[in-house]
Structure formats: C-alpha cells, structure tokens
Structure 1
Amino acid sequence: MTVAFAAIFAPAAPGLGQEAESTDRPATVHLNAYIEAFNSGSLDRMKAFFEAHFASSALKETPVAQRLARYQGGKAQLKSFAVEKTVSELPFQTSILARAGNGDDILLRAMVEKTPPHKLVAIFAELVEDPANIDVPEPKADEKEFIAAVRGFLEERTRADEFSGVALIAADSGVLFHEAYGNADREMKIPNRKDTKFNLGSINKNFTRVAIHQLARQGKLSLDDSIGKFLPDYPNAQAAEKVTVRHLLNMTSGIGDFFGSRYDATPKEKIRTLQDYLPLFADRPLEFEPGTNNRYSNGGYVVLGLIIEKVSGVDYYSFVRENIFKPCGMLNTDSFARDADVPNLARGYTLDDEPARARVLNHATLPGRGSSAGGGYSTAEDMLKYVLALKDKKLDLPDAASGLGIAGGAPGINSALEWDPRSGYIVIVLTNFDPPTAGQAARRIVGWLPQ
C-alpha cells in the first residue's frame, strides 16, 4: 500500500555533512540543525541546539540535561547521520531517511508547534528495515476519517493473513477504537477478543524500570550502586564491581544477551526463574567498558530483576504484581508459566523457514517463564491502564513525561505502544504474529493521527 506524500524529493548522494533538501519549512530547518549538532559530537552544541530549537513546553516535559543523556546513548550507538533523502514534508512535520554511522537506516521525524515560532515539540528516530519501500502516512483530516482508515487497514491486513491481534486507540476524550482481529488459536479457530492476553515481549522492561525507581525512591537502592553490592556472587567479578544500576537501566553496562547458542541448547521448560537465566550470559566478558557505549541488553534487565528480588525480599513476579499491576487495576497482566492453563491467552505463530512459509506455533522457542527482560502477558485495556497511571503520576517513571514509544518482539510475538502527552493520543497494538506486525500497524496508525 502506498500513500501520497505532501512532497517527495529525489534521493541525494549521501554524505556526512549533507542536509535534507533545503526549504523554509520549520520542521525541515530544525531537523537539519539537529543532524548537524548530532554529528558534531559536542555536548555544548547539542545543549545549544536543544535550548534554541525546542519549545519551552517540550523542555519542561523533558529537560535539557535528560535530553543530553539520551543524546550520549544515541551517539554511542548510531555514531552519525548521513541524509539519504527527504521522505515527506507536511506543514508541521518533516521525515527524512538517514544512514547511521553504524550502518542502520533510520527514519528521522521532526514535529513542530502549529503556531509561530513553530519550535520543535519532538524528534523521533525509527529503525527502517526496508528503506527502498519506506512509507510515511499523512495525517487524516479528523477522527472520523482516521478511525475509518484504521479499521479498513486492519481488516485488509487480517484478510491477507498479515495481522492477528488487538488495536486500541485512546485520546483525552476516552477510547476511540478498540477491536480484535484474527485468531488466538488457529488450530481450534478461537478468535482473538478485545480482552485476549498477548505476550508483550520486551515491553515488560518498562515495568522493571518502574520497579527500580520505586525502590530508589524508598531509599533501598541508588542508581549508582554496583551489581556487587546486591549480588556479591555475580559470576563476572569485573561486572559486579564496575556496572551500576544506572548502566543496566540505560543499557550502557556492556552485559550482553541471554539469547544465543546457550539458550538454544537449554531445555526451555527449565528456565523458570530469573536465576535460571544467569548461566546463559553472566560469566561472559563485558562487551565494552561500562558507560562508554550503548547496546541492547536483555541480560542487563535480568540482572535488574535479580536486584529487585534481593532488595525487596520477594520474587520479581510478585513484586511487580503487587506494586504495579494491582494498584493500576491491571488484573489480566502477569508472567505466566509456559505450561500454565491460562484462559483467553493468545498462542504465538511464527513463519517457518520452509518454502511454503506456513505459520507455526512458537511454543518451542518460549522459556518456561518470562523474565524481568520480557515475556509477560497483558491485554490492550490493561496497557491503557498502565499509561493512564503514568499520566496521572500514580506510577513514576522519570522519562515518561515526554511519552512512551516502546515495543517488544520475538518469533510469534510483537507489541507496540505509543503515547504522546502533547496530543493526548495513546496507540496500543498487541499481536501473536512475528515482528514487525505490531510495529508496522502502530506506525501507520500514529502517522494517520489527526494533527
């Protein structure tokens, strides 16, 4: 499916100092300035950029110091941006495709105020899997047109067997759209329902972040405490000494992943506690000196879960259930054992490697139970309750004031949640298909949101 853009510009030859095609559109001007400051590697230039180009309301939600910390993580991971092409220019939004210094293709999107002086309200960066077929949808004129477009899109994708799951869209006025598509159990032909429980994948990491900050506020830990303070027998002595809670939260620890050859060789039913995950990664050398780089770390979030257990005196699953899920009314959210008989639970389906590309159950890839890094289950309605608790400050997550853009994915698992406090819109997509099923749907929905 293609979407007509407000403006399309031919790709230009990539180069580190290159800008998006010059126009007087404020979003384009801001985005060019951002790329120049990002590539400079200078904290002073980034600080000056944030102060000069962002609206005061945006800086109130996410202060400059916090933005600089995010920049450092992004700079360490992405290195630089070289503009490939301007994808679209709308009155208050510009999207460009850039090649990052680490080789990734990144869609950069700048959004500005609708009234003068049209300063920035947000810049988003999204990994692009197929840059040759990049598609940026245009905002719809109003909510009626928007909902019709979403419904038509999801129905068409379901008929093509390319979507199975639940989508929920809410605004300050309430829930605008909440529908289920496809089957929770293809063999038994049991349809997904609005209250079906889906595997969240890595979205669970957000609950772990909240739990850590709860314990920090209670004075039971500091973000600058080392792993060794809580886990003196941690298998890697260097990590125990050098890696802090803050490093783990920000994925700057150097601790790697638990997925890999060890995970593949381990009988999955034996992975049922956080301690069971440790032999899969914990004795490996650090991938880099803590604090000097940024790399996605499932292992690091398992360690955070173990710290939560040590500090709180209860297992991780009980802690988040009692301190996050129950207070928020999230009664259909938990980390269920793989062999538990849980009603209204979606089974995951992944495309196999055979020429027929049939959808097969993902059961064999699942651990006996999820962890503090991911693998718990929830419903779209419960995830809405979670966002509203953050919005109303019943739960505290320091960087949630500027919204959320989180996702999780694995074979037969894909979830996406987008919350923009400025517009008030919340988009939740949970699926029991492979990535990028939910991510693509959420991106399309967010792109169609009326401005």
Structure 2
Amino acid sequence: MRKYIILFLALVLNSSLSFADKDLRNKVSQASKDYLSSRFMNGTYMFCDDDGVIEQGAKGLHSFETKRELISEQAMPIASTTKTMTAAAILKLRDRGLLDVNDKVAKFLTKESNIWTDGVVPAWANKITIHNLLTHRSGLTEYFMGAKLDITKPHSEINKDIVNFAAGKELTFEPGIKHNYCNTNYVLLGLIIETLSGKSLADFYAEEFFKPLGMNDTRLINLAEAVKHQVEPGSTNYPIRYFVTPTGNSEPQFNVAKSEFIMVPYADGGVASTAKDLITWNKALHSGQIISDSSYKLMITRHYQLPEDLSDGIKKYTGYGLFISELEGGDVVYHHAGKALAIRCESGYIPSKNLYFAVLSNVMNYVPKEMQDKIDMEKVENQLDIAYFTKHIFDSIR
C-alpha cells in the first residue's frame, strides 16, 4: 500500500511540475509576442528552458539605409558578454592546477614574459590578484576610450600597449578595496590565459569551448575585421551599428555609430555570436559541462555587493565574469550584458525558472546630456534598449 501511495504522490508532483513549466512557457511566449507587436525592438532573441525553445526570432533592421531585415541566425559582436567566457577560461586553467585565483599577476606576467616595456614589471603586478581582476576590484586605470592605440600594429603588440598604458599609471585605489568596472582587468586575464596555455586566445576559446559545444557561429573576431566593421559600416556581414535617441514621440533618431576610438577584440569584449549559440553557452556553463563544480561555485559566488548607484535599483553582486542580480519577484539571475559603441547584448540564466535568454542588438540608446531632463524614460516610446524587452519578460514570470 505504501508503495502505491509513493507512486501516486510522485505522479501528482510530476504533473504539477509539468503544469508549472507549461504555465511559465506560456507566459514567456505571450509576453514576448505582446512586446514585439507593440513596442520598439531591433535585434535577435531566444528564450529557452531545458525542454527546448520557447521563443526565437528577430525584429528590426540589419541596415536602416538598405532596409535589410535582421534574421534570427544573425551573428553580432557581443562586447562585454565575452567576459563570462574569459572568466570560464581562467577557471578551466584553475581546474588543471595551473593557477590559483589568489595568485598575483606578476607570477605569470613576469619580466621574461616579453610583455612589459624594457622588462619592468609594474609594482601593482605584485599586489593585484586574479580574484581582483575577475571581480573588478584591482584599482587599475581604464584603457577603453583612454589609451591611444596604434591599430596598424600587430594585435599582440596592441594588447601589450594596453597593459603598459596601465603600468604607467598609479592605482586608483588599493586592490580589493572597492568596485570599479574596468576592461583593463580582462585584458590582463587574456594575457594570462595565453601565457599559461601557449595558445592564442582565439584558439583557446575555439578549442576549449566553441568547437566542443557546437557553437559554430561564435568566434573571437580578428583585428582587421573589427577595424573594418567600425571604420566602414556595412562592409562586413555584421549589422550596421546605430546610436538611437528618443525624441519624445514615436519616431526616434538614428545615427550610424562611429568613434575615433577603435574597439580592439580581445578578452574584455571581442567575441561575436548568435542568440542560439549564447543559449548553448549558458546551458553548458550552468550544467557543469565547462568547468568543475568547485570552479563553478566560485564563479556564481556573491563575492561583493555593488553600490546602489551601480545596481539599477536592485541587489546586484559580482561573481567571476558575471553578475548575480535579485529580481523584484525574488528570482536570481546570472548574467552579463554587452554594451559598447552600439553593441548590445543581454544573456544569462534564471535557475529558479529554468529559463535561459539571449538578446542581441545593433542599436544602443544614446541621450545627450542636454536632452536628459527633457526625455521621460518612463514612457514606453522612449524605452528603446533591449534591456526593456528582457525586463518585460522577467516581469511576466514573477
């Protein structure tokens, strides 16, 4: 009799779980359709659970000049979402016993490494740990938009120029004292990966991650391609990138994104991918296919809470190469956005909902300072960023 009772309870439990899963899938699907039918979105998207795809598609334009439409399989740069892959690469080397997260930078990037100018290792390299780099608590100077880079040099030399730019600066604070999001941290991590593995970062990503996982449309972009994409918009297979400014009515203003500063593709933000491949990445990362259980635990540990002015009004913590955010309904999301020079990416995982998401865009909000007090961002017609799309989905499943 007891056996039958247990069997009955198991059937009831499985039935209720299936109902809950189906209910969540319906909510995500309906919320996606509602948003896309009534609001601005320019990008590709995919929402999945372990049972498969819930919603996938694209809305908007590859080029506003030619009116070419985006397709769901479109590959785009993902900017800083790359950092999750870099952190996973560091932790994979940890799993192989090649490093400890408490090791100092100078242990790997030595005088003999041919990285430092005249072989002079900066004093801070003996203070800053890999843990500091992973959590953005190093005190290093930000190179992005600050260093003058000679893009005619070989890529490896540019990477050296970046860290030597930081080597010539005093730390802005003692390592570990506070949070300051800084791309220089992840350039150093990339150099450590290359030093310990003996491979280029592009080859390490491909051989350790992308090829084994079947991420066929994902790779670290090479320098020449990255420069061409930024200097000659429309000359590559990637969508033209636009800054979009709300005007207070239904017709926002679009401008092709150009900058004197050229983004160099590396460990801080150089990967291009698709929504589908990013779902594959998140599923593999959060199911133990990429790094060990102990390394994964380190990755998702809430090492530090971000200050309120950096947390978008919600509790947000730094992990390794990702952020851990507590949504309004209490759900936790592991994620990392990409946001740079009209590259936008939102990608991550909500474990309590068994929900994976990836949204990529070639459009980025830009509101000049003189307009910021004139544009009401509470109005939906002014909410043009893909973050509003993902938030709409999250709100639907609270």
Give 1:144's aligned residue.
Answer: 26
Q: Paired residue for 2:67?
A: 189
**AA paired with 2:241?**
G
Residue matched to 2:195: 310
Distance 1:310 1:145, change over 3 A: closer
Q: Report the CA distance shift for 1:269/1:201 in structure 2 as closer, same or farther (over 3 A).
A: farther
Tell me the CA shift for residue 306 of structure 1.
0.7
Question: Does structure 1 residue 226 correspond to structure 2 residue 104?
Answer: yes
Task: Measure the CA separation in 1 of the matches of 2:219 and 2:202.
Answer: 7
Helix, strand or coil at the partner of 1:422: helix
- For 1:347, give the aligned amino acid: I
Matching residue within 321, 331, 340 for 2:206: 321
The question of 1:212 aligning with 2:90 is answered yes
> Cα distance, 1:400 vs. partner?
4.2
**1:373 is matched with which residue?**
268
Identify which of 153, 170, 179 aligns with 2:57: 179
From the superposition, tell whether residues 310 and 247 of structure 1 become closer, same or farther in structure 2 (CA, over 3 Å).
same
Aligned CA distance change for structure 1 residues 244 and 191 (closer, same or farther; 3 Å): same
SS of the residue corresponding to residue 293 of structure 1 reads coil
Tell me which of 184, 201, 214 is aligned to 2:79: 201
Aligned equivalent of 2:277, options 362, 370, 382: 382
SS at match of 1:225: coil
Partner of 2:125: 240
Q: 1:292 aligns with which of 177, 182, 206?
A: 177
**Distance between the aligned counterparts of 2:163 and 2:100, measured in 1?**
23
Whole-angstrom distance in 2 between the partners of 1:280 and 1:189: 42
Which digits, 9 at most, give the CA deviation of each residue in 1:227-276, with x for residues without a partner?
Answer: 1111124466221110111111111111131123434xx45565834334
**Aligned AA (1:412):** A
**Partner SS, residue 170 of structure 1:** strand
| Distance in 2, Cα, partners of 1:354 & 1:149 | 26
SS at match of 1:404: strand
C-alpha spacing 1:261/1:214, structure 2 compared with 1 (3 Å) = closer
Question: Separation in 1 of the partners of 2:198 and 2:150?
Answer: 28
Partners of 2:350 and 2:290 lie apart in 1 by 17
| 1:324–1:367 CA distance, 2 compared to 1 (3 A) | farther
> Cα 1:186–1:411, aligned 2, differ >3 Å: closer, same or farther?
same
Q: Which position in structure 2 is the counterpart of 1:15?
A: none
Corresponding residue pairs, total: 305
Aligned-residue offset at 1:157:
2.6
Change (3 A) 1:335 1:203: same
Task: Write the distance in 1 (CA, Å) between the matches of 2:246 and 2:212.
Answer: 43
Match in the other structure for 1:27: none
What is the deviation of 1:365?
Answer: 5.4
User: In the alignment, what sits opposite 1:122?
Assistant: none
Are the structure 2 counterparts of residues 417 and 363 from structure 1 closer, same or farther at C-alpha, using a change threshold of 3 Å? same
Does residue 238 of structure 2 align to residue 345 of structure 1? yes
Distance in structure 2 (CA, Å) of the matches to 1:368 and 1:250 = 22
Q: By how many angstroms is 1:350 displaced?
A: 1.3
2:47 to 143, 158, 169: 169
> Counterpart in 1 of 2:35?
153
Query: Residue in 2 aligned with 1:405?
Result: 335
Change (3 A) 1:376 1:282: farther
Aligned partners of 1:427 and 1:445 also within 8 Å: no
Q: Which residue of 1 aligns with 2:390?
A: 442
CA apart distance, 1:290: 0.8
Q: 1:389 to 1:353 in 2, by over 3 A?
A: closer
User: 2:143: which partner in 1?
Assistant: 258
SS state of the match for residue 444, structure 1? helix
Deviation at 1:418, TM superposition (A): 3.0
One-letter identity of the residue aligned with 1:346: P
Do the aligned partners of 2:106 and 2:121 also contact (CA within 8 Å) in 1? no
Deviation at 1:149, TM superposition (A): 2.7
Match of 1:203, SS state, is helix
Cα pair 1:248 1:301 within 8 Å, conserved:
yes
1:395 lines up with 2:290 in the alignment: yes
Q: CA separation in 2, counterparts of 1:438 and 1:236?
A: 42
CA separation of 1:322 and 1:237: change in aligned 2, threshold 3 A: same
Asked if structure 2 preserves the Cα contact closer than 8 Å seen for 1:270 and 1:368, the reply is: no
Partner of 1:272: 155
Structure 2 regions of 5+ residues with no counterpart? Answer: 1-21, 302-331, 366-383
Unaligned runs of 5+ in 1: 1-139
CA distance in 1, matches of 2:47, 2:236: 25
CA RMSD of aligned residues (A): 2.9
Q: CA deviation at 1:367?
A: 2.9
Q: Is the Cα contact below 8 Å between 2:27 and 2:396 reproduced in 1?
A: no
% identical aligned pairs: 26
- The TM-score normalised by the length of structure 2 is 0.69
Measured against aligned partners, the alpha-carbon deviations of 1:115-136 in whole angstroms (never above 9, x if no partner) come to: xxxxxxxxxxxxxxxxxxxxxx
How far is the alpha carbon of 1:403 from its aligned partner? 5.3
Match of 1:415 among 338, 345, 353: 345
